[in-house]
Amino acid sequence: MGNGRLGQPDPQPERLLAHARKIAKLSRRATDTVHGSFLIERTQEQYRFAIEAFDSRRRSREAIDARSELEQFRMQSGFMLRAAPLLLESSDFRSAFDSLATSEKVGRFFNGTDDLDEIVALARRRMKKLDNLAAAEAAARAATCMLWRAHREKETIVLYNEYTDALVRDVTISISRGALYLVAVRSKIATRRLWLTGRNDEASQLLATVHEALKTRL
């Protein structure tokens, strides 16, 4: 894939826009963050070339539409970069949830309801209260499993990460308050969840924070 505007001194904006869309499609299939980052940057660059070309020809309507496409791509690119690899058939995340979805750990009902969106809302309400994380864990497990069964995979990842974030927040707040009871156990759970979703830098940072806090207690 060459650099620049298709190697032409003054290419047609339609061709530039078509090329941007082609790279955008490739970026959605990226299987690692390095390759994904490169394609996302190239996509945005190519969209800018197309917008400039439309603007130079005073084709404002097409330029506005291309800008709208670019903004939509930018909103999606964060998810693509962080979460798309989780949905590959070979990913640990998919394997874990495929296994959970076929197990009997989570039934068709939770708290007497099979309304999935209601269960998701309940899990989120419980996550907001750190003193209710044990109850939130059960609701979050049921909600993520049921979302996965319903093939709402992107929502599964979002909710999974939300509960992970709640766990990390609970650990860091406990450390700041000097309440180190069970910090090691809870941090291990949070770390495993971070690793499963490819958030390795955050996992390492959490481990270092916990290690430092527990070291000062000795």
The DSSP line for 149-195 is HTT-HHHHHHHHHHHHHHHHHHHHHHHHTT--TTHHHHHHHHHHHHH
Measure the CA–CA gap between 79 and 190, rounded to whole angstroms: 20
Measure the CA–CA gap between 66 and 21, rounded to whole angstroms: 10
Measure the CA–CA gap between 13 and 171, rounded to whole angstroms: 52
Measure the CA–CA gap between 184 and 150, rounded to whole angstroms: 34
At 98, phi and psi to the nearest 5? Answer: -60, -40
Residue 146 amino acid letter: M
Q: Which of 28-37, 85-94, 150-159 is predicted most confidently?
A: 150-159
Least confident piece of the model among 17-26, 29-38, 60-69, 165-174: 29-38
The residue ranges of every structural domain in the chain are: 13-87, 92-217
Average pLDDT over residues 186-209: 92
Measure the CA–CA gap between 210 and 75, rounded to whole angstroms: 33
Which helix H or strand E contains 216, and what residues bound it? helix 200-217
What's the pLDDT at 7?
46
Measure the CA–CA gap between 64 and 72, rounded to whole angstroms: 12
Residue 214 pLDDT > 90, yes or no? no
Confidence of residue 192 (pLDDT cuts 50, 70, 90): very high
Measure the CA–CA gap between 205 and 209, rounded to whole angstroms: 6
Residues of the chain with pLDDT > 90, as a percent, come to 56
Closest CA to 41 of 86, 88, 77, 92: 77
CB 27 within 8 A of CB 39: yes
Report if pTM > 0.75.
no
Average pLDDT over residues 183-202: 91
Average pLDDT over residues 99-105: 89
What's the pLDDT at 105?
83
Confidence of residue 115 (pLDDT cuts 50, 70, 90): very high
What's the pLDDT at 4?
46
- CB count in 10 Å sphere of residue 59: 15
Confidence of residue 75 (pLDDT cuts 50, 70, 90): confident
Closest CA to 67 of 84, 81, 82, 53: 53
